[in-house]
Each structure stands twice: as C-alpha cells, then as structure tokens.
Structure 1
C-alpha cells in the first residue's frame, strides 16, 4: 500500500539497541523523538494535521511519522517474529530477531500469529475513496465505501513447508499489509461473537490479554476508554486492557498488579502510581519496546467481539486521564481529522467514521447497513461518536 510519509519523518538509528541507555542508538531516544512537538518537529499538531489532510486528498491509506528505513526495520522485525512462530522456529538472533528485542513485542506477534493460524483468519480492509472535506469546522476527510477487500493471513501446511513459494509469498505480503495498518493506528475488530458467527465461533481475541492468556502478565486494566460505550454496562471504567504495562510511568506497573475488571481494582490500581507517574509518564522507558500502547477491549456487553488498536501513548492518570500530555496531543489531532493516531503514524481506518478493519475467519461475510457502518456486535449500539457525515456509500 502506498502510504504518505511526513517530510520531517523520524529515523531509527542503525544499528539500534533496545537495551542501551538513552543515547543516540536507543529505541527509547527514537520513541521520545517521535513525541517532540516543537516547531517543525514530526508531531507538531498543525504540520501533522496538514499532512494527514494531504494524504487523504491523495487517497493514501495511511500517514507515516517515520522514514522508510525505520518502517522497514520495525515491520521486518515483527514479520520475522510472526513467521518464526508459524514455522516453529525459536526467536533468537540466529533467526533474524536481535537478542535485545523486548519480550513484550515477541509475545504479542507470536500470540496474534497463533490466533490467525488456529482460526484461519483473514483481514477485511474497507475499500474507501476520498470524497472531500467535511463541512464542519475541522474539515475532517469524508470517504465513500464500496465494500471490503479480503486477504488470507493464515498459512497452510503446504505454504509453511514451501516458504519461498508464490502462495506463501502472497500470504506474507498480506501479513505485512496488516502490520502497516496496525503500525499506523487502524482500528481493528476481531469477529468472535456467537451472534456474528453462529457456527464455529473462534475464541475471543481478547482472551490473550485476560487471565491465563499469553499476554496477561504484561497487561494492565485501563482506567477507561472512549470506544464502544456500554461495553462494561453503564460506563467504560476498567473496560479495556493496555499492553504492555511497562510504558507510561510506574502507575502502569502498579495498575497491572490489580489485574481486575472490577471498579475498585481499576481505581485503586491507578491511584497507587499516580504520584510517580507525574515524573516519568511521558518518557520512554529503557529498554523500550516498539509496541508502546496497544488498547484492546470488548465491543459490547453481551456476545462481544474484540476491538484493538495501536495508540500513540497510554492515557495517564496524572495527565488528566489522557486529556493532556502525549496522549492528549494525539487526541487533539484525531478530533480534528478523525484519523486514528499511533506511535508511528495515522490511519483513516477508524470506527468513528465506520471504516473498521476486521479480522475474521475467511468464510465470514461483512454486511453493510444503510448507514454504511458494517453490522457486528458493537455496531448495533448507538454510539455518540459515530459520524455518518464522514462516510457514505460508493456511487453505484
């Protein structure tokens, strides 16, 4: 896919070292550099908003804040972790994964690869075309949607046995397309509701973050989030999961200890680290993973699907529950454009305009409704943030 790249895109030092102190070769320094928002820097809100609007007008499916070399290094690392798992090869330096790679990055892409393989998962990408700016004050891009493009992500035993064959190569390109969308902040929904798939429902994608899941130890319960109102009942307090719990100040570490869906657990877990996170909440840890702020949760209270997206930085208690600081500055650009903002870029694929990307078994058929918001458990609930002015059916 042909994504736009910011003119002042940040570069990743080569060679980088995730375990190094915060020096010029540190991933921590690279990440912190992405959040410098002075005049002319990559996250300058005005420059970022203008870049996103230009990318939208050019019908580009994403906007990178990092240069081509950084993209290649990060995506190749993630792809290698994925393919090593599929081929049952241990992740170590001999197989293309640097020894300093953080365990949370390895565990995440191994877990997603395992889910994809076990459930024969495909990706469903909205076929959208830029229409023009919204008439509102923020001129958010408006799109038409003509349906979805499906591409298989799972590899068959034959493709695994012949990794250099045409079929396997095509699947790897699909996996890289998923990673590009993930890295730039696309909103994903993994279809695992018994309502949407009555026969042969896959296990919940969210299970990997919950008790006994492979990612549970490094996952925190979120204070709250702005997605899928009512997924926790009347509120969204403690309704989602943040991964990993090593980024965003010590409140994340304290918070992780509670590991509960309960109201009091989420509140006391957050307050426990509020004092110390005032100091280091908006500073990358050393060492630092590439996935700094993955948010996941349920799309509805009953028979939910799982949503997930890479955000720019965790919403922090001492930063006004994310209204200020790194998370807050990204949210302001999101509000102006309705593109999702991640650590590394921005994406037009946001549930707020009905352009969700789906992961689902490859026999699932997305059904568009009159409002063009695809029907799934989670979209049937009226959401105040869904803006029908920003999406319309494609001309027949």
Structure 2
C-alpha cells in the first residue's frame, strides 16, 4: 500500500521515523524529510499477506502519527492519524479499496475555531490559491466545530445596520472566501481562487438576479433585527427591511452582491418572489426553481425538507449530488445549495408559488444533515456548511429577492411580509410552522390585510 503525504504546515520540517509493522514489512519513506509544500511517499509491500503498521513524522516538537490497516483478504484499507494539538490532517477518502491501495494525506497547522475546535486553513485564501476544499469542508464537521454552544455563543454578535453577524464555524475564514464569490460574481469570467463548481452556481445566480424580472435587476430586502438580551432560543426584534439593489445602472452594486454572498454563506433563507398574487401589477418574474432546472447544472432531488410543510416538503433540489458524509475530491465549497417551492406541490403551475433558496449544512439523507438539524431545533438558527444565522422563514426573518416595485411591510399575524406559502390562516393565525414567539415587531404594525389570508 502507499500513502502520499504532503506537508502544508508553514515553517515546519518533518522527518520520517518510528516505523513499525505487525503484519508485513515496516513502511519506507521517500524522501525521509519534507518541508512546506513538499510530498513524501510512504509504502509497504507484502506479497504474502496484509500490511498493518504505523510511522511518525516529527519536527520542532510536533508529531504526526499515522497508522494503517491493509487486509490480505476482502475489505478496505483504513488510515488513522493523530497529531499534536494545533495541527490537523485531511484525507482524500474515508477508506481505500483494493490490494494496491493509495491514500493521500495533507498535514496542516490548524486554525482555532470558536476556541473549541481546530479546522483546516483554506488554500483558496493563499497566494497563489490552491484547492483544498475537501479537507477544509470535512474539518468543519469535526468535534465541537458546529454544536449548539457555538451558535448560542454568537447571539450577542454585533449587529451593524440591523445585520446580525453569523456564528462562524470556519475560524474567521468565511468572510474572506465569500469575498471571492463576490469577486467572481462582479467580474465574471474565471477567478483563480473560485473553484469551477462554485463559479458555475454563482454565474447562474447572477444571471437570475439580472434577468428574472421583466422590469430589470432584482433587489434584496434584508430584515433589520436586534437580539433581545437574555433570550435563549434567541428572540429578535424585527423593525423593518433594508433594500439592497443589485444594479447600479450598467454595473453590479458591489455592496449588495457582497451582502448577498455573505448571507448565503451563513445559511440565510431567501425567497424569490414570483407568485402572481405577490407581484406588482404588470411585472413578470421567472420562478427560480424553473430557472435553476433549465440551467443544466448537475442536481440531486431532495428527499424531503421541513420548509413550508407540517410534515415534509418534497419540492426541493440540491446543486450537485453529495449523498455521502464526506466531501468529494476536487470539490468546491458549495455542496448543499437547496432550492424548493413555498407551496409543497411539485405539480404547481408557474405563477402559483415562490421559490426559497438557502445553503444548508449538508444534503438531506445523511448523518451530517441530521446532526445539523438537531442543532437547528435547539437554536432555531439556520445552519449552513460554514456557520449559522437567524435569517429563517420559521422566525419571520426571510430575506427577499424581488423585482423593482415590490416593497415589504411588517404586519400583525405573520410578523414578516407575507407571501404565497406564508400567508395567514383564515382563523387569524400564522402558518403552523411559523414560530412567532421568537420575533417581535413594533406595536403599531398594521393588521394583516385580507388579501394575505389563505
């Protein structure tokens, strides 16, 4: 078997040693010492049985221990590792099949995230940029990186201009790579620091924002909210909406694009207004899910989600097919982008529903998704791959993407601006999934008009 290991710990030279085996010969390394960015090939060959052994890489009081188990009969090879605190390793797979197994390991000086966990530094932020998204994303699902305590610790995050900073699982790397998404959006073309999978989705989003409405580029409306001190799960006061026009005439509004990608990275729930009942008179708007389906991007059907349904919404579609609990090789950052309808009916016709979009933590049907959902139930914050935020339809804090001429208003009953899929019930109550206990609005907000009662 072979283990290809690369040292990405800057300023550290590692030396191979302490090699031993309980089955087969002791592993051999070539070369015996590696500096930053350099690879080492460790191999063990046993023509008459399996390979079971271990070795270490050491340097400047830092140790990486690697153990491997390669069976002689059926079964996959496994590789495990332990490192000095403050260092972390990423692998290209969980197991390695075959009798000539090859594993790839990368060794990093870790970033301390939330003072509770260690995560991989994102190579896209280096100069020159390199893609280690697989290791970075997988590290975000390590112990203590994304539990409820991390989210509740973010309740008191500063809220400039009514915007609540997210809980950040990445060790303060989220804003930097979101800025790369914004650069990709604004400049178009190829951004070397933006993986092609991410670039393809961002380009589709930009096309939608610029062309979906018949009267010009869309505007994003962000709820203006403030945490009510001492509440847990957190209660926010909703005081209105702030407009972020995407267009500056003939160019993109950089501030609006930046705000959008930061909210996307944090897991905010967006609704693209396309239901005829919600649109201004004379304005037409393409449904996002139809636009998404026609884009030709690779997708996976969502087996079910909790949005706009008392049981399960079956209208969802994910970008890419990531059904395993492990980020694939050569991936980008965006692995759980979900779009679905605010009306739980896959046969609903155009103009009868709106579309929601958000970046989830992981795709449904996986253990990672289930663990994130448990955290959501404890905090009622939306969980993305990279962090968490309180912008959720269940909190009446939906972010809107809407055509010019559509202006949101706070109302009693629904609290937020109502839309098809989130109207009030005829008995004067909100939809069953809407938790009005975690949001307050000004007492002088008007009653819900009859046109917004289902």
- TM-score w.r.t. the length of structure 2 is 0.63
Q: CA deviation at 1:124?
A: 0.2
* Aligned match of 1:129: 226
Describe the superposition over 1:51-107 as per-residue Cα deviations: whole angstroms up to 9, x where unpaired: 2334389983322112344531x223211221233xxxx32xxxx334xx5433112
Q: Tell me the number of residue pairs that the alignment of Structure 1 and Structure 2 aligns.
A: 310
How large is the RMSD of aligned CA atoms in angstroms?
2.7
Q: How far does residue 9 in structure 1 lie from its aligned partner after superposition?
A: 6.9
Higher helix share: 1
Q: Distance in 2 between matches of 1:286 and 1:108?
A: 18
- Retained in 2: the 8 A contact 1:188–1:357? yes
Q: 2:181 aligns with which of 73, 78, 84?
A: 78
User: Does 2:101 match 1:53?
Assistant: no
* Higher relative contact order structure (alpha carbons within 8 Å, sequence separation ≥ 6): 1
Q: State the TM-score, normalized to the length of structure 1.
A: 0.71
Counterpart of 1:32? Answer: 138
Residue 363 of structure 2 corresponds to residue 314 of structure 1:
yes
1:172 aligns with 2:264: no
Match in the other structure for 2:302: 222
Contact 2:361 2:372 in 1 (8 A): yes
Compute the displacement of 1:393 (Å).
Answer: 0.9
- 1:254-273, CA deviations, whole angstroms, 9 ceiling, x for partnerless residues? xxxxxxxxxxxxxxxxxxxx
Match of 1:287 in 2: 330
Give CA-to-partner distance per residue, 1:307-352, whole Å, 9 cap, x none. 0110010112xx4xxxxx2111111111111110101111111111
Whether 2:235 is the aligned partner of 1:142: answer yes
Contact 1:122 1:359 survives alignment (8 Å): yes
User: 5 Å matches for 1:207-286?
Assistant: 207-210=290-293, 213-214=294-295, 216-229=296-309, 236-237=313-314, 239-245=315-321, 247-248=322-323, 281-286=324-329
Task: Choose 380-389 or 183-192, whichever is displaced more.
Answer: 380-389
Would the alpha carbon gap of residues 205 and 54 (structure 1) be closer, same or farther in structure 2, given more than 3 Å must change? same
Q: 1:142 to 1:288 in 2, by over 3 A?
A: same
Cα distance change of structure 1 residues 290 and 359 upon mapping to structure 2, 3 Å threshold = same
Aligned residue runs from structure 1 range 177-192, under 5 A: 177-192=259-274
SS in 2 for 1:127: strand
Q: Distance in 2 between matches of 1:156 and 1:337?
A: 40
Contact 2:151-2:388 within 8 A present in 1 as well:
no
8 Å contact kept, 1:104–1:218: no
Q: Secondary structure at the match of 2:244?
A: strand
Select the structure of larger CA radius of gyration. Answer: 2
Q: Which of 381, 389, 396 is 2:437 aligned to?
A: 389
CA distances 1:154-207 after superposition (whole Å, capped 9, x unpaired): 2422xx3xxxxxxx6xx2022101111110000000111111014212111112
Task: Give the secondary structure class of the aligned counterpart of 1:75.
Answer: helix
Q: CA deviation at 1:133?
A: 4.9
Q: Take 2:148 and 2:354, find their aligned partners in 1: how far apart are those partners?
A: 35
CA–CA distance in structure 2, aligned partners of residues 125 and 180 of structure 1: 12
Q: Is contact 2:182-2:257 (8 Å) kept?
A: yes
Shift of 1:11: 4.9
Deviations 1:227-261 (A, max 9, x none): 1128xxx9633x1111122x22xxxxxxxxxxxxx
Does residue 1:378 correspond to 2:421, yes or no? yes
Structure 2: gaps (5+ residues): 1-112, 445-454
Q: Residues 70 and 390 of structure 1: is their aligned pair in 2 closer, same or farther, counting only changes over 3 Å?
A: closer
> How far apart are 1:370 and its partner, in Å?
0.8
